[in-house]
Each structure stands twice: as C-alpha cells, then as structure tokens.
Structure 1
Amino acid sequence: MPRTGTPLGRVRILLVEDSELDAELLVEQLQESGLDAEFVRVDDAPSMAAALAGEPFDLVVSDMELPGFSGYQALEIVRSHDGRLPFVFFSGTIGEEAAVKALQEGASDYVLKHSPVRLPSAVARAIRETRLEREREYAERELMRSQRLDCLAMLAAGLSHDLRNILQPLLIVPDLLSTYSNDPKILRLGAVISESGKRGHEMADSMLSFVRGSRKASERIEVAALFQAVQLLMQGSLSKRVRLEIEMPEDGLLIEGNYTEFQQCLINLCLNGIQAMAEQGGALTLSARRATDADGRDHVVVRVADEGSGMDEATRNQLFTPFFTTKSSGTGLGLMSCKRIVESVQGRIQVESRVGHGTSFELWLPAAASLEWSAPEGAVFQDGEGRRILLVDGDATRLSLLGNALAAQGYDPMMAPDGAIALQQIARIGLPALAILDDDILLLSAADVLAVLQEAGFDGPVIRLREPGTQEDGHDCAAVVTKPVQIQSLFASIEHALGLHA
C-alpha cells in the first residue's frame, strides 16, 4: 500500500472469496504493503449478510465468480446494506464490458488476480475516498445545524430587541406619573405597570443572553462616522489588486437603526465585492446620497459598488434566499442578514449586476430627523431652571424618553446617541452643567468622552448609566444609575449632584 496520504489506521475488510488460497494471497499482499487490517472471509450470500449485520467494515473485496453466487450479487447486498461502503472486485478474469458494468453498478474499482500489484493502492484509495465523502457530509450537516442555530439566534435577538423597545416606556412612564399626580389609584396603577415592565425586561434579557447581546436598540447614526469605521475595519481585507474608494457623505446625513448591525451589513457587502474582484482586481466604492422615493419620503441611499465578475439573472434571483451561496466557504446568510437589517427600518435593497461588469447594492434607508433638541421658546421651567444637561445614550428609545422627562422637569437636554456626536454638539452648543453618560455608547467610550470634556474645560458632575455588575473604569463620577433606569432615581441623582456642585 502506498505510504503517502492520510494514514488509514486499523481497518476491517470483508473478503468475499471461495478460494482459501486466493484469500491468503490477497491478505499477504495487503499486509506486506503496510496495511493494518482485520480480515473476515465469507463465500456465500447468507454468511455475507450475517457478517455485514455485525461490526462495521471499511471495505469489501469480492471475487467475480463464486459457486452459486456472483460478485454482482455481493455488490447488490452491500449496496442494500450501506450504499457508501467501498467495494473492490478482485477477479481472475474480467472483460472490459464486465468492468464497465461493475463500475456503473457502484463498484469502487477492480483488480485482476494475475496482476495484484495495484491492489494495495486501489484498496487505500477506495477507503480514503469514502472517508473523505463521509467527512464532507458530516461537515455539511454540522454547517447546516450551525446555520439553523444562527437563524434562531437572529430571531431571538430580534424578538428581544423589539420587546425591550416596547417595554422601555413601562419602566420609565410609571415614575413620571408620580410627578403629575398624587392620586393613590394612579400611583398603584403605575406600580403595576412598572412591575410588569420589569418582568418583561427580565424575559427579554434572558432571550438576549442566548445570543450574548448580538443586537441592541435603535439609534441615530451619522453616515460619515459609519463609513469611517467601515474603512478602518476593511483595511486588513483588501488585496493589492483591490482599492477601497469612499466618497464621504455630507455632514448631518443621518439614518436610524442599530449601529453595529449596519456596520456589519456594509462589511458583508464590501467583502462580497472584494471576493468578486479577486482575480481581475478593481475599485470598491462606498458612497451615500440624499434621495426622495415615489411617495415623497426622504431617504439616504447607501451604495456599495464593485468592478468584479458580476452575476447572471439566475444568481440575482436567489441572492436573498437562506443558505444560497456561490462561495465554497460561504454560509448563505450574509445577504439574508443584510436584507433583514434594512427591512427592519422600513428600508429596501436594490441590486444591479451584469456578468463581467460588476455589481452594485443600494440600501434605501429612511432619513432620520436632526439630532438637535432644545427647549421650546418661552418654556416655563420647573426645578431644572433651564440648566443644560448632556445626555449620551446608545438606546434610542431610552434616549428619547429620558430627554422628554428632563425637559418636563425644566432642564435643557442635549441628546446624542454616541460619543462622537456628543462631542460635535459640545463644540457647537457649549459645555453642559451636568453630563449623563451611558456606558454602552459606540465610537467613543464614556471614559473617552469624559476625558475630552474635561480637556475642554468641563468641571461639572457626571452621572453614569451602567448595567448591574459592571466594573469601574477608574473615572470618578457623582453617581451611578443602574439600568433599567428608574426616573425618580435618576432625578434624585441629578438634583443631588447639581446641589453639591452649586
């Protein structure tokens, strides 16, 4: 047996042979080649069926002609037992027509007894090919199982995200009721709503733990900042033949959604474009523009275009089919995930592609309103006395509710969904009297935002919004409010911090 290739280890071989001498010669030939094998010999159909019913074999070697029993019958028995068990004919005489028939009926190979030198290599090749085929089938099954789990994870994350958004008002609004009414019935009703919200929030957290926080709530996203992050992350994936060209969009171009998901969506599209240009190379272009759809609604159109091989119509029609892929190592979930992300914000994907002329994906995303917020002119201030508070929170629903609550108490909130936009607002509007920073913001961490604020001259108190059990980062703060945020606790912390700082 050839000593190259993957070692076979110990194998079991079933010999279908009526000649004891021929069987001994076959065993000797294989053992001399270095094959470590256990041999079992049978010479009729009943004994063969009984042997196959026992411990599994790695290979069957059969003579073509046996008394009252043929090699074709032996092959049929093997195929009915295990269609993938390799089968090699080892016969004294076999014509060309018989050899072709044997292969057509499922034999792995045939070797003539008067020329047995090829037998060891034929046996080794048949066993290796069968093992590789079984390993490939196992890998495919595992991949499909993994992909189904990925789909379940996306479903769980999506449901958890939606539940958290729905439940967020139930955690905040009940506390606001106490600022507007002292009616015991209303307060009891608020307590019931709050408790229901807490229980629902715990259920959503349990679902989210299944995917370890793979999705977060919606937020406003600066497209230029998103492009910069994608550009940074794509540097290590570009080949010498592919260049990334980013047409930076205008300032203030905003979309609403989950920052991490849209970042991953653009990276998936960029990687597809790079792979499409693997042979000929070319430019991968990322751009964005304002547009209005047929119904007059404002959109941001994000475009990812490559100069690659392009796609035919049949491929384009299956692009967003789960598990469809044209790549040997692909999962078929990337584009489906992109479609889900875009459609989750009521957007759509348009694809244009021609074979040999490249492909472009356009994401039509509803434009988000301006992030700036200021108290209405002539507003009557309450306890807040119009003092400016910087509120940086990565959760869009909580950001909106907390901003409204602060405004209702007479504060002037400056709201931002991430650290970069917060610093832009500081540069444009000025320093706040107090800062409320969510520990889970993107682009810049809460600690980085705080450090830049202090360098700019901010010396006011800081309140951190933090998940229970989160470790300190070494930066002093006036108070820590754990999430989910309780309005009364937050107001008490604000009043205490501002009182100490007065």
Structure 2
Amino acid sequence: MPQSGTPLGPVRILLVEDSALDAELLVEQLQDAGLAGEFIRVDGADDMRTALAGAPFDLVLSDMELPGFSGYEALEILRRHDTKLPFVFFSGTIGEDAAVKALQEGASDYVLKHSPARLPAAVARAIREARTEREREHAERELMRSQRLDCLAMLAAGLSHDLRNILQPLLIVPDLLSTYSDDPKILRLGAVISESGKRGHEMADSMLSFVRGSRKASETISVAALFSAVQLLLQGSLSRQVRLTVEQPPEDLLIEGNYTEFQQCLINLCLNGIQAMAERGGQLTLSAQQTVAADGRDYVVLRVADEGSGMDEATRQQLFTPFFTTKASGTGLGLMSCKRIVEAVKGRIEVNSALGQGTAFELHLPAPAIDEWVGAEDAAFLDGKGSRILLVDGDATRLSLLGNALAAQGYDPVMAPDGANALQQIASDGLPAVAIIDEDILLLSAADVLAVLREAGFEGPVIRLREPGRQADEHDCTATVVKPVQVQSLFGAIEHALGLRD
C-alpha cells in the first residue's frame, strides 16, 4: 500500500501516455491502492509543456515509447522545467540498459508494465522522497536566513552604538540654542536639526530592535503627520496604474508607539498593496478612524486597502509566518515585523482579503489618554541656581555636551568618565545635590558608585541614563532618562528631583 508511510493527501500526477485506455487503467490501479487526486494525460511535447506551465504536479508518470515522442524527451522537458519533480517510467519495453540510462539522466524509478503491483508503492515513495527533499532544502534556507540574522544582529549592535554617538550632538545642541538666541529662524532651524537627529537615531536602531525583538521608546504620534510622511515617501513607488488616496484624519487623532516603526509598518503594507496591483492597477487607500471596542476602550484603526489580486484562505493563514512569502525576491519578514510592532503596543492586526477582490489590513491600536499629548518643546528651562550635579558618563562626546548644557543653564556640573573617577571627584569636591549616572560606565558599575555615594552620606536624588527597553530598578533611582539623551527630558528630570518644578 502506498499509504503505509506518511499520508500523501491529494496528489496531482501528469501521465505521459498515448493510450487513453491504458491511462484509465493506470489511474484506477493507483486509486485502488489509495492514491487520490487529479490525473492529467498528455501524449506530446507541446501538450506536456502546456500542462507543466499550469498548476504544479507532484509527479510525472511516463511511458517509454509514444508515437513521435519518447519518455527520454519527456524527461528532458521536465528537467528543463523543474529539476526536482519526480519522474517514473512505466513501460513494457524498457530493458536493463535503458533503465540504467533513465536513472542516470534523472528518472526517480522505473516499473515494468508486466509487474504493475509495484507501481503504487514506487509512485508514493518518489513523491515522499521529493517532498522530504523540498522540506530539507526549505529548512536549510531558513537556517541560512537565521544565521544571516544573527550576523546582522551583531553588525546592527555596533552600528547602532556608533551612530548614536555621532548623532548625539544633533539631539543636544539644538535644545541649547534657546538659551543663546531668541531669533525665531534660528530656533526653527534648531528644531529641524533636532528632529533629523532623532529620526536618524531611530532608523539606525530600528534594525537592532527587529533582530533582537527589543521594545523601543514610545511617543505620542499624530496620525495626520504620520500619513503625510508616508504619502511623501511613497511617491517614487507609484506606477501610472496605481492611484494613492489618503483620507486625512483629524489633527487630534493620536496613537502611542514609535514613530519610525509605524512609518515603516505602513510603508511595508502600502508597498505590498502596490505590488498586488502591478498588473491590473487600482486604488490604494490609506485611512484612519477612532472606534470604541466591545470592552469600552477607545481604539484608533489604521487601514491600508488595495484593489489588487487578493489572497486565498491558505495564504492568509500563513501571512505572519516567519520567512513565508509569495514573492520571488521576498524575505517573508515584513509582515511579521508589522505584527510585532502592533502587538508591542497591545494592539492587533486584522486582514480581509479574497481572490480578485483586493486586500485590506487594519491596525487596531489603543488610543492614548488625552492628557498624554503634551509638547515637551513648549516647556521653558529653569535656572539651576548653582546646584552641584555629578555627571558620570563613559561617552566622551555626550559627557562634554551635557556638561556644557548644565553649565549654560546655571548648574555646577562635576563630570566623570567612569565610576572610579567619579569617586575621586566626590572625595575632593564634596557631595552633589543630584547624581546623574550612565548605566554603561566602566571600571565601577552604576550600582557600585551609588552604593559608595550612599555610604559617604549622599541622600540626594539619582537619575540614571538607560538604554531603551531595559528594566528600571525603582529602588535605586529617582528618575530615568532614556538614551539618546534629550536636554528637555534631562532638565525636566533634574528640576523635578530638586523640587524646582511641581
């Protein structure tokens, strides 16, 4: 019985046979043995090429001699089309030499017509071996991709660290311009530089966030601004056949998350829609609305809809499977990344699609509380009044920039590049009013430095500089400022710690 091993399920077999009666008997024999599926008969080279160009087959079963055509020619046609598809000869004329030649040229097996009992088992074995080989190759490809991702993670870690150092001045210096100039043109220029630095850092860190699965810092995002950015970035990807329609949401429609990640997510979904309409054209629509779920919570629904070819149920079930793709050059990682981004903010992603009727992706995202949308850029810095600040940071560029920023704002900064130097500074200059300690300092850890400070009598507030996504130890610090450090966040934390601002 061919079904003695792993069940094959429905199969699709191409019969190369000139006799309709022989083909009918052959099909009955295979079906009686438990092989169910679709059997297509051809008797010439052109018909065979046409059949192979359609839906894929599981196996080709061929006679050796046909009028004006031969089994060897059929095997050659198949190997030009697919080098892996199994091919079995079933003939009454094949001899030992011919059988050996057939196997050497790529046939999977041969069965003599006067010994037909072996045919179902030979067919089933050839199909199972071909499927096993495809699964093995697929597993090897996934392993190679996984190994490339591991290498990418190491490269991304180094790249992210170096670029953060390079971009740090773009995040700190523009905020200081307000202390030196009231010129609105200079302040606007500073805002542009600061925004560019922030987005540049997030884009560099996005790759690291994906390969490590880390949780990036969150912010409140205007959906209207997000849509405008996506519309601008898509202009070069639209063909003449595809029309982009952006239904602009109200300015007060907000979501909570990482701006760069959601921008990449929407662009990914839009590009998928554009590619789905490559042949027939159509309209790509980007829209958003606020809804109330059954649990009473407010949600913002971002919708990307296309009029493309659509998907069947089998494809929809695998959409978010790692490395699954229907594109010849696809990686199978884009939609998985979108799903991770949405679920990271406690949202969900839904897909509605049907063959020939287009596809719509909906991102259901929890709406932020109204009082969360407070522009930090509107806050004015207060005079530090000479308060001594211990600043311990192993990044020389950031240490210098933050030290100058603190001094310009009226504080008395005591700067140290590592834990040991910080303790020497305290021994000579006395205890500070506030300690700002980077968690990645050398020689002594941040916890060790803080422990020595406490033993020396320091009872003031502690502000830690922490990488995004790292868990905070609430018992050993007053506040946390996420890196890359922005002057607004740092000054706000200091002012609250000192009681300068309620």
TM-score by length of structure 2 reads: 0.50
Aligned residues with identical type, % of pairs? 70
| Residue of structure 1 in register with 2:432 after alignment | 433
CA distance in 2, matches of 1:80, 1:496: 74
| Residue of structure 2 in register with 1:112 after alignment | 112
1:136-170, Cα deviation, whole Å (9 max, x unpaired): 44455556666777777777776655443233224
RMSD over aligned Cα atoms: 4.7
| Residue of structure 1 in register with 2:84 after alignment | 84
In the TM superposition, residue 110 of structure 1 has moved relative to its aligned partner by: 0.9
Q: Is 1:413 matched with 2:415?
A: yes
Change beyond 3 A, Cα 1:128–1:434: farther
Change beyond 3 A, Cα 1:190–1:484: farther
Q: Is 1:169 matched with 2:169?
A: yes
Paired residue secondary structure (1:211)? helix
Question: Is the 1:407–1:413 contact (alpha carbons within 8 Å) kept by the matching residues of 2?
Answer: no
CA distance in 1, matches of 2:69, 2:181: 96
| Residue of structure 2 in register with 1:397 after alignment | 397
Q: Is 1:203 matched with 2:208?
A: no
Question: Is the 1:447–1:473 contact (alpha carbons within 8 Å) kept by the matching residues of 2?
Answer: no
| Residue of structure 2 in register with 1:267 after alignment | none
TM-score by length of structure 1 reads: 0.50
In the TM superposition, residue 47 of structure 1 has moved relative to its aligned partner by: 4.4
Q: Is 1:71 matched with 2:71?
A: yes
In the TM superposition, residue 13 of structure 1 has moved relative to its aligned partner by: 1.6
Paired residue secondary structure (2:415)? strand
Change beyond 3 A, Cα 1:453–1:98: same
Question: Is the 2:175–2:488 contact (alpha carbons within 8 Å) kept by the matching residues of 1?
Answer: yes
CA distance in 2, matches of 1:142, 1:399: 43
CA distance in 2, matches of 1:492, 1:30: 78
CA distance in 2, matches of 1:429, 1:460: 14
| Residue of structure 2 in register with 1:286 after alignment | none
CA distance in 2, matches of 1:449, 1:4: 69
In the TM superposition, residue 55 of structure 1 has moved relative to its aligned partner by: 3.5
In the TM superposition, residue 121 of structure 1 has moved relative to its aligned partner by: 2.8
1:181-212, Cα deviation, whole Å (9 max, x unpaired): x6767x97577346413432233224423432
| Residue of structure 1 in register with 2:35 after alignment | 35
| Residue of structure 1 in register with 2:459 after alignment | 459
Change beyond 3 A, Cα 1:492–1:25: closer
| Residue of structure 2 in register with 1:246 after alignment | none
1:350-394, Cα deviation, whole Å (9 max, x unpaired): xxxxxxxxxxxxxxxxxxxxxxxxxxxxxxxx9758x5x443446
Paired residue secondary structure (1:196)? helix
- Code of the residue aligned with 2:72 in structure 1: it is Y
Question: Is the 1:392–1:441 contact (alpha carbons within 8 Å) kept by the matching residues of 2?
Answer: no
CA distance in 2, matches of 1:53, 1:174: 61
1:267-292, Cα deviation, whole Å (9 max, x unpaired): xxxxxxxxxxxxxxxxxxxxxxxxxx
Question: Is the 1:15–1:40 contact (alpha carbons within 8 Å) kept by the matching residues of 2?
Answer: yes
Change beyond 3 A, Cα 1:439–1:101: same
Change beyond 3 A, Cα 1:158–1:464: closer
- Code of the residue aligned with 1:398 in structure 2: it is R
Q: Which runs of 5+ in 1 are unaligned?
A: 216-381
Question: Is the 1:406–1:412 contact (alpha carbons within 8 Å) kept by the matching residues of 2?
Answer: no
- Code of the residue aligned with 1:208 in structure 2: it is D
CA distance in 2, matches of 1:78, 1:7: 25
Paired residue secondary structure (2:12)? strand
| Residue of structure 1 in register with 2:264 after alignment | none
In the TM superposition, residue 26 of structure 1 has moved relative to its aligned partner by: 3.5
Change beyond 3 A, Cα 1:489–1:67: closer
In the TM superposition, residue 10 of structure 1 has moved relative to its aligned partner by: 0.8
Which has more radius of gyration? 1
